């Protein structure tokens, strides 16, 4: 393992429907792997719940977020944390104008998913017009819409 330092304002930016996911670090060592993202999320309608093959942790820095995990809602304030377990339907919505949080995901697959999504789905098109591209990306990475 080598030291990683990413200054503020740097990292690969992956525009997603729920906000910009900025890749900060991917760690791989004998104990396992995880990825760290800074997420800058504007207020938008909640995306449909989806199921990911990795666990995600949301640690809120600024704003307020309503998280939906397996049908239960959680109001998250700055300093609060919510865990999205792998294989569990989940989503989140910004309550207010915007939110900023640290996202940590288990394994090394989420960053590839975010990068593929950002490169394959036009960010300026309505979700309905991009549905085929969205479904293709989710299928490639083992992510599925809940109930699908």
DSSP string, the chain: -------TT-SEEEEETTEEEEEEEEEEETTEEEEEEEEEEE--PPPPPEE-SS-EEEEEEES-EEEEETTEEEEE-TT-EEEE-TTS-EEEEESSSEEEEEEEEESS-HHHHHHHHHHHS-TTS-GGGGHHHHHHHHHHTT-EETT-
pLDDT band at 3 (very low <50, low <70, confident <90, very high): confident
Which is more confident, 31 or 66?
66
Question: What is the reported pTM?
Answer: 0.90
pLDDT band at 71 (very low <50, low <70, confident <90, very high): very high
Q: What is the pLDDT of residue 72?
A: 96
Q: Is pLDDT above 70 for 77?
A: yes
Q: Read off the pLDDT of each residue in 78-106 and give the average, rounded to a whole number.
A: 96
Model confidence over 104-147: pLDDT tens digits? 999 999 999 999 999 999 877 777 788 899 999 999 999 998 86
């Amino acid at each position: 393992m080598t030291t990683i330092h990413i200054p503020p304002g740097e990292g690969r930016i992956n525009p997603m429907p729920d906000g910009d996911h900025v890749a900060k670090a991917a760690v791989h060592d004998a104990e396992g792997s995880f990825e760290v993202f800074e997420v800058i999320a504007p207020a938008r309608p909640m995306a449909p719940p989806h199921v990911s093959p990795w666990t995600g942790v949301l640690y809120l820095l600024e704003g307020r977020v309503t998280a939906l995990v397996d049908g239960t809602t959680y109001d998250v304030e700055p300093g609060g944390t919510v865990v999205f377990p792998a294989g569990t339907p989940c989503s989140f919505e910004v309550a207010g104008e915007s939110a900023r949080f640290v996202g940590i995901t288990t394994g090394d697959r989420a960053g590839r998913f975010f990068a593929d999504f950002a490169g394959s789905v036009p960010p300026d098109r309505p979700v309905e017009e991009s549905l085929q591209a969205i479904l293709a990306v989710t299928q490639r990475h083992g992510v599925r819409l809940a109930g699908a």
